[in-house]
Amino acid sequence: MNDQQWFVVVLYAIYVIECIWWVPCGAVVIRAAWRSWRVAHPAPGLGNEHGSFVFLPLLPWSKPSFQCGQWALSLSETDVYAYVAQAINPAGRPIQSGSKIAIQDVWEAASRGRDVLVNGQVFFKATCEASAWHYAALIEQLRRTQVAEVSAAIAAALRHALDPQAVQLRVADLQKHLAWLRAEGCVLFFLMMVAFSASLFVPAIAAYQLMILIAIAACMIDIVRRFYAAHCTLMPAAHLRRLGSMATMILMPPAAIRASDFLGRQLLAEFHPLAVAAALCPRDEFRRFAREVILDLLYPIMPICPSKDEVDQIIESDFRQQLLVSVTSMVRNSSEDPEGIIKPPQPDDPSCVAYCPRCERQFYATAGACDECGGIPLTPFAQ
Ligand SMILES: [Zn+2]
């Protein structure tokens, strides 16, 4: 290939790379689909124990996608424990720090990138910068709350994280900024990927190359300007993320076509993925995902809590019960029946006599356990 052909290949490669997200374990992407959104897990087999890739729609006019992490802390009236038994991804439970601290011993909570810092030390790593910021703010809030009111503060935080109406309001705020960004993204795609690429090979179009380059520059400047204004309005505290996204768009121009994804990616980081699914996904997708989330809360991967400390185990167990109550309540408020959603599966064939209550793999013997879920005992099918 000659230099011009290589240049076009690099342009398209940068664009495609921007359509692939690295997503850490413990997070999902609520990915834009044709007319709505779907839940996408990091692709198994492509990544490592820390995460994997999620592929977004390639079309420049597709809706934005959102990355959301599972709830990351076990909380009690007195302690913050950076461990949960949940594994929202089929690939398994994310690696966690297991740090624990008494709320009364916290004198400062902050975030630095994905790290949540407590008393200046890394307490745990969140799934994204925005999530780290929200958890640091929550720990800071608990620190400032009277002991008698900590339980109410935790319950309020869970209600907010599981509030589909709040998700819809946030997405409505985003939509106000997206119309122009998406339109300009489409124009930039045509100018850069079609017109400019063609100008390198077609002499008749090459005569207009300077004009095309000026139009590309004007379009890029306006996209970056609109992105900056929208980001300042939607996520005023995310300075580093804002600067990083703008630098990417300026240094790698095809990335500017995906400005709406830069804007949306961490917008819903403060919400539980199930609340986002309730707000955005079709009913069948929400029910399927709710089934996974509730079964995972009811039957966590074994061992449920790796800590030998009985207090740690009680904090994890009690908080998981509280989260389960909050999740089932949200599902019920979304006009769905949680008991109906988690009804037992039917045998795939008559020789299947038992299933794993968590992952629902089916077995030919009732004795034994599901190795994929760490040894959860099998449940026989009802006769
Ligand atoms: Zn299983």
Distance CA 231, CA 113 (A): 17
In a domain, residue 277? The reply is yes
In this structure, the answer to whether residues 210 and 122 fall within a common structural domain is yes
In a domain, residue 3? The reply is no
CA of 236 to the centre of ligand 1 (A): 42
CA of 369 to the centre of ligand 1 (A): 8
In the chain, the largest separation of any two C-alpha atoms, in whole Å, equals 78
In a domain, residue 374? The reply is yes
CA of 87 to the centre of ligand 1 (A): 12
In a domain, residue 166? The reply is yes
In this structure, the answer to whether residues 101 and 84 fall within a common structural domain is yes
Counting the structural domains of the chain, the total is 2
Residue 1 confidence (pLDDT): 67
Residue 368 confidence (pLDDT): 87
In this structure, the answer to whether residues 121 and 193 fall within a common structural domain is yes
In this structure, the answer to whether residues 261 and 329 fall within a common structural domain is yes
pLDDT along the chain (383 residues), means of 10: 80 90 95 88 88 91 92 96 96 93 96 94 95 96 94 97 97 91 92 88 86 93 94 88 91 91 92 97 96 96 92 96 97 93 90 93 90 93 77
Tokens of 363: 């077995």
CA of 57 to the centre of ligand 1 (A): 31
Distance CA 324, CA 314 (A): 15
Q: Tokens 């309020």 label which residue?
A: 156
Domain of residue 362, residue span: 346-383
In a domain, residue 144? The reply is yes
In a domain, residue 329? The reply is yes
CA of 305 to the centre of ligand 1 (A): 17
The Cα-based distances of 210 to 150, 196, 199, 200, 268 in angstroms read: 63, 9, 10, 12, 41
Distance CA 186, CA 178 (A): 12
In this structure, the answer to whether residues 283 and 189 fall within a common structural domain is yes
In a domain, residue 242? The reply is yes
- Alpha-helical segments (H) within the chain: 3-18, 129-144, 150-161, 164-189, 197-199, 203-206, 209-234, 239-251, 259-264, 273-280, 283-298, 310-333, 338-341
In this structure, the answer to whether residues 188 and 288 fall within a common structural domain is yes
Q: At 112, phi and psi to the nearest 5? A: -140, 105
CA of 131 to the centre of ligand 1 (A): 29
In a domain, residue 32? The reply is no
